[in-house]
Amino acid sequence: MFAEFLQYLFTGITIGATYALIALGFTLIYNASHVINFAQGEFLMIGGMATVSLIGLGFPLPVAMLGAILLAAVMGIALQRFAIAPAKQADPVTLIIITIGASIFIRGIAQLVWGRGYHSMPNFSGNEPVNIGGAVVSTQTFWVLGVAAVLVAALVLFFTRTMIGKAILATSMNKVAARLVGIRTEMVLMLAFLLSAVLGSIAGIIVAPITFTSYDIGIILGLKGFVAASLGGLGSGMGAIVGGLLLGVVEAMTAGYISSDYKDAVAFGMIILVLFFMPRGLMGARVVERV
C-alpha cells in the first residue's frame, strides 16, 4: 500500500522535475521579453534526439550530450534573432503563432533528419533499479533529480551573484530603466533564449532514458511546461519549480489511482480550477493595470 504510494510519488517527482525545468525555461524567456515560447518543448526534443544520434555515430555519452546542448543553444539564439526580434511590435497572439510556427518548422526538420520512429537512450549508470521502501526506482531517477537540483542552484547563483544575471533581472523588471543604466537589453534577450534552450535540452537528455524520445515529443512536453509555469505563476522562478513538481505528482497519482487515460485531463482540469481562484497562479505577482 505504502510502497505503491511511494512508487507513484517517485514517478511524479521525476517527471515533475522535468516539467519544472521546462517551466523555468518559459519563465526565463517570459521575464526577459514577455513572450510565451511555444517552441520550448522542441529544445527537449533536440536534446534527446541529437544525443541519441550522436551516440549512434560512435561518440561517447558526455561528448554526445555536449553536442546536443550546443545545437539547442544555437537554435535558441536563432529563434530569438530571426523569429522573435523582427516581430517586436506584434500582438501576444501573433507571437504565440510565430513560436508555434517555429516549433512546427523545427519538428519538420527533425522528422526529415531522424525519421518518425521512437528512439531509446541507455541509462547513464546501470540498469539495475534500486529498492526504496518497497518502491522500485530506476537509477536514472537520481540523475534527473540531481541534475535538476544542480541546475536550479546554478540558476539561483547566476541571478544573484553574477553581473549578467543581475542584468537579466533588471531588464525583466524595467526594460527602459535597464537600458538607461547601460545594460544592452538586446543581448539580454538573446541570453535568455540561450539559457532557456540549454535548460530545455538538458531536461530532454536526462529524461530520454525514461520516456524514450521521438521527433514529436516536444508538443506535449512544451504544453505541460506551460501548464506548470502558469500553475506557479508566470514569471516566478519558485512558482515554476513548485508548479512543475505539483503537476508531475498529480499526474502520477491520477494515473496510479484513478485512470492513466485521464491523467492529462486531470492536469488540465487542475490548472483551470487553480486559475478560477488564483487568476495569476499560485505564486504570481499581483500587477496593477495602468490605463
Partner 1 sequence: MLKSLLHNRLSGLLLLAIVIFVLPVFFNNPFHYDMATQIAIYATTVVGLNLLVGFAGQISLGHAGFFGVGAYFSAIMTGVYGWPPVITLLLGAVLVGFLAFVVGRPILRLKGYYLSMATLALGFIIAIIINNEGWLTGGPDGMPVPSLSVFGWELSTFSSYSFLGMTISGSLAWYWLAGVLLLLGVWLAQNLIDSPIGRALRSVHGSEVAASVVGVDTARFKNLVFVISAVYASLMGSLYAHFQGFITPDIAGFMESIILVTMVVLGGMGSTIGVILGAVLLTLLPQLLADFHEYEMMMFGLILMLTMIFMPKGLLPTTQRFIRSRLSKKKGEQA
Q: How far is the CB of 30 from partner 1 (least distance, A)?
A: 8
Distance, CA of 99 to CA of 96 (rounded, Å): 5
Residue 133 as a binder of partner 1 (CB under 8 A): the answer is: no
DSSP 201-265: HHHHHHHHHHH-B-TTTHHHHHHHHHHHHHHH-TT-HHHHHHHHHHHHHHHHHIIIII-GGGHHH
Residue 285 as a binder of partner 1 (CB under 8 A): the answer is: no
Residue 106 as a binder of partner 1 (CB under 8 A): the answer is: yes
Distance, CA of 213 to CA of 121 (rounded, Å): 8
Q: Given 3-state DSSP classes, what are the helix, strand and coil percentages for the chain, each rounded to the nearest 5?
A: 75, 5, 20
State which of positions 229-258 bind partner 1 (CB under 8 A).
Answer: 230, 234
Among 56, 63, 66, 94, indicate the residue that binds partner 1 (CB under 8 A): 94
Q: In the stretch 36-65, what mask flags binding to partner 1 with x, by CB under 8 A?
A: x-----------------------------
Q: How far is the CB of 37 from partner 1 (least distance, A)?
A: 11
Distance, CA of 68 to CA of 51 (rounded, Å): 5
What number of CA atoms fall less than 13 Å from residue 247's CA on the CB side?
A: 36
State which of positions 165-194 bind partner 1 (CB under 8 A).
Answer: none
Among 21, 50, 69, 83, indicate the residue that binds partner 1 (CB under 8 A): 83
Residue 286 as a binder of partner 1 (CB under 8 A): the answer is: no
**CA dihedral over 241, 187, 159, 289, signed as positive or negative:** negative
What number of CA atoms fall less than 13 Å from residue 256's CA on the CB side?
A: 18
Distance, CA of 124 to CA of 74 (rounded, Å): 25
Q: How far is the CB of 86 from partner 1 (least distance, A)?
A: 5
Q: How far is the CB of 149 from partner 1 (least distance, A)?
A: 27
Residue 96 as a binder of partner 1 (CB under 8 A): the answer is: yes
Name the site residues for partner 1 (rule: CB under 8 A). 30, 36, 83, 86-87, 89-94, 96-98, 100-109, 111-112, 219, 223, 226-227, 230, 234, 261-262, 264-265, 268-269, 271-272, 275-276, 279-281, 289, 291
